[in-house]
């Protein structure tokens, strides 16, 4: 769900290729004939589900990166190599299909119209499965997702090497959780919305209580966007046991902290849950089965989850002003996000944390197999 460093400079940078143009791109750049293509929803890139006329009817996702991020080839290279690395480590991530020149990506002109911009293009393997947003989550899959979040960050931080790793230090990247204070410049997009005061309260508390503690958190590489549309699951027909079958969208990868990942994951798993406040304990238990949090990290969790709600709601409102035609997708989180954020603040930090920590503690006695 990301974009470049400066939200306001993004105007008109989202690719807008038609299906025929996209199919021609696949043929020209990757040497594959498209037999079927359809558009996929995206925040500010453009994605297509593609089936090619090859033996086995292979399926791919054509990913056309917005023109802002397309100017950072080192960053896209690192993100793509991280996907390949995770696949080799046994994680269900996509891998790129190489261009005719043998590269993992190619900078291409997006159409024939005058003034057409150049976009970085990749063809990624299509991962089967159902987005978490489309299932009724239970304790088992929430625990697995928490465990996945910790495992991904841990293996990336401990083992992944690349000459351009420094490109993940994205100081002003609006989706990095450390940058909640940057929301001040986009809060205008809420107008005089009745929820604006809560967001302002989140930002101020974040500045006072989280920012000064960042140096005490353990640093790592964050996936940064394990939301309910970026995690795919499948289930055995005999039970409601789910397993993660796909991890999507590495475009928010950046250097951050382990506690950021669990906070982001808790927030997004709350979105579709019928019992949102119970979610945190199950995700936290899964995460801590791999990486137990320190007392300082746990103490920041409430404001970090609240901060991610604020980021998602404010940036979505801002971006919907730029791309009104994409408003429905951009404001998915807002449908229940405002309600959940308000509930958290009405209950207060102590009560919410008590719910999360007691649920997580129960797993030490009844850990899943």
What one-character-per-residue DSSP string does 64-83 give?
A: E--TTGGG-HHHHHHHHHHH
Strand arrangement, sheet containing 130-131: 130-131, 231-235, 242-247
Q: What is the CA radius of gyration of the chain?
A: 20
Quickly list DSSP for 273-332.
Answer: -SSHHHHHHHHHHHHHTTSPPPHHHHHHHHHHHHHHHHHHHHHHHHHHHH-GGGHHHHTT
pLDDT at 236 over 80: no
Average pLDDT over residues 72-92: 97
Taking the CA atoms of 191, 194, 195 and 197 in sequence, report the sign of the dihedral they define: positive
Residue 78 vs residues 74, 120, 179, 254, 306: alpha-carbon distances, Å: 6, 14, 22, 10, 29
Domains of the chain: 19-125 (3.30.200.20), 130-365 (3.90.1200.10)
- Residue 161 pLDDT: 97
Contact 358, 278 (CB under 8 A): no
Q: Residue 237 half-sphere exposure, CB side, CA atoms within 13 Å?
A: 0
Nearest CA-CA partner of 260 in 336, 347, 157, 184: 157
Q: Which one has a higher pLDDT value, 6 or 195? A: 195
Share of the chain above pLDDT 90, in %: 76
Average pLDDT over residues 202-219: 97
3-state secondary structure of 93: strand
Tokens 């990486």, residue located: 291
Q: Write the DSSP symbol of residue 213.
A: G
pLDDT at 217 over 90: yes
Provide the β-strand partners of residue 120. 107
Q: Which one has a higher pLDDT value, 28 or 57? A: 28
Residue 302 vs residues 58, 204, 333, 336: alpha-carbon distances, Å: 44, 14, 18, 18
At 222, the pLDDT band (50, 70, 90 cuts) reads very high
- Report how far residue 313's alpha carbon sits from residue 168's, in angstroms, rounded to the nearest whole number: 24
- Residue 7 pLDDT: 43
Q: Which one has a higher pLDDT value, 367 or 316? A: 316
pLDDT at 279 over 90: yes
Average pLDDT in the chain: 90
**Helices 334-347 & 349-362, crossing angle to 10 degrees?**
100
Catalytic residue numbers? 225
pLDDT at 274 over 90: no
Average pLDDT over residues 96-108: 95
- Residue 6 pLDDT: 41
What the block records as the tokens of 232 is 């795919």
At 325, the pLDDT band (50, 70, 90 cuts) reads confident
Taking the CA atoms of 143, 144, 149 and 150 in sequence, report the sign of the dihedral they define: positive
Contact 209, 259 (CB under 8 A): no
What the block records as the tokens of 211 is 């920012």
Average pLDDT over residues 87-115: 90
Share of the chain above pLDDT 70, in %: 91
pLDDT at 262 over 90: yes
Burial bucket for residue 91 (CB in 10 Å: 0-12, 13-18, 19+): middle
Average pLDDT over residues 104-133: 87
Contact 297, 161 (CB under 8 A): no
Average pLDDT over residues 143-157: 98
**In this structure, are strands 242-247 and 231-235 parallel, antiparallel, or unpaired?**
antiparallel
What the block records as the tokens of 276 is 């949102």
At 330, the pLDDT band (50, 70, 90 cuts) reads low
- Report how far residue 38's alpha carbon sits from residue 53's, in angstroms, rounded to the nearest whole number: 15
Quickly list DSSP for 138-190.
Answer: -HHHHHHHHHHHHHHHHHHHHH---TTGGGG--TT-TTSGGGGGGGGGTGGGG
List, for residues 4-26, the tens digit of each pLDDT value: 344 434 444 788 888 999 999 99
């Amino acid at each position: 769900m990301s974009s470049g460093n400066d939200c306001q400079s993004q105007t008109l940078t989202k690719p807008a290729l038609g299906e025929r143009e996209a199919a021609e791109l696949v043929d020209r750049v990757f040497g594959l004939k498209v037999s079927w293509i359809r558009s996929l929803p995206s925040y500010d890139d453009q994605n297509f589900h593609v089936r090619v006329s090859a033996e086995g009817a292979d399926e791919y996702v054509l990913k056309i990166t917005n023109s802002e991020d397309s100017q950072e080839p080192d960053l896209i290279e690192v993100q793509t190599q991280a996907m390949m690395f995770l696949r080799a480590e046994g994680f269900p991530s996509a891998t790129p299909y190489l261009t005719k020149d043998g590269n993992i990506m190619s900078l291409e002109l997006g159409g024939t119209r005058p003034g057409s911009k150049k976009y970085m293009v990749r063809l990624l393997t299509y991962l089967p499965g159902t987005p978490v947003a489309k299932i009724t989550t239970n304790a088992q899959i929430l625990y697995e997702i928490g465990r996945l979040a910790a495992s991904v960050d841990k293996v990336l931080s401990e083992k992944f090497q690349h000459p351009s790793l420094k490109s993940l230090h994205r100081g002003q990247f609006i989706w990095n959780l450390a940058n909640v204070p940057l929301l001040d410049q986009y809060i205008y997009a809420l107008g005089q919305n009745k929820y604006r005061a809560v967001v302002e309260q989140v930002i101020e508390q974040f500045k006072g209580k989280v920012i000064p503690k960042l140096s005490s958190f353990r640093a790592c590489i964050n996936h940064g966007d394990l939301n309910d549309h970026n995690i795919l699951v499948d289930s055995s027909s005999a039970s409601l046991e789910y397993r993660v079958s796909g991890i999507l969208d590495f475009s928010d990868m950046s250097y951050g902290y382990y506690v950021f990942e669990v906070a982001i994951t808790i927030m997004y798993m709350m979105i579709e849950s019928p019992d949102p406040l119970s979610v945190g304990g199950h995700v936290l238990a899964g995460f801590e089965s791999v990486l137990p949090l320190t007392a300082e990290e746990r103490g920041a969790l409430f404001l970090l989850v609240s901060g991610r709600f604020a980021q998602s709601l404010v940036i979505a409102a801002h971006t919907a002003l730029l791309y009104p035609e994409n408003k429905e997708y951009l404001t998915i989180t807002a449908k229940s996000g405002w309600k959940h954020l308000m509930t958290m603040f009405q209950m207060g930090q102590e009560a919410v944390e008590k719910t999360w920590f007691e649920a997580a503690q129960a797993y030490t006695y009844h850990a899943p197999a």
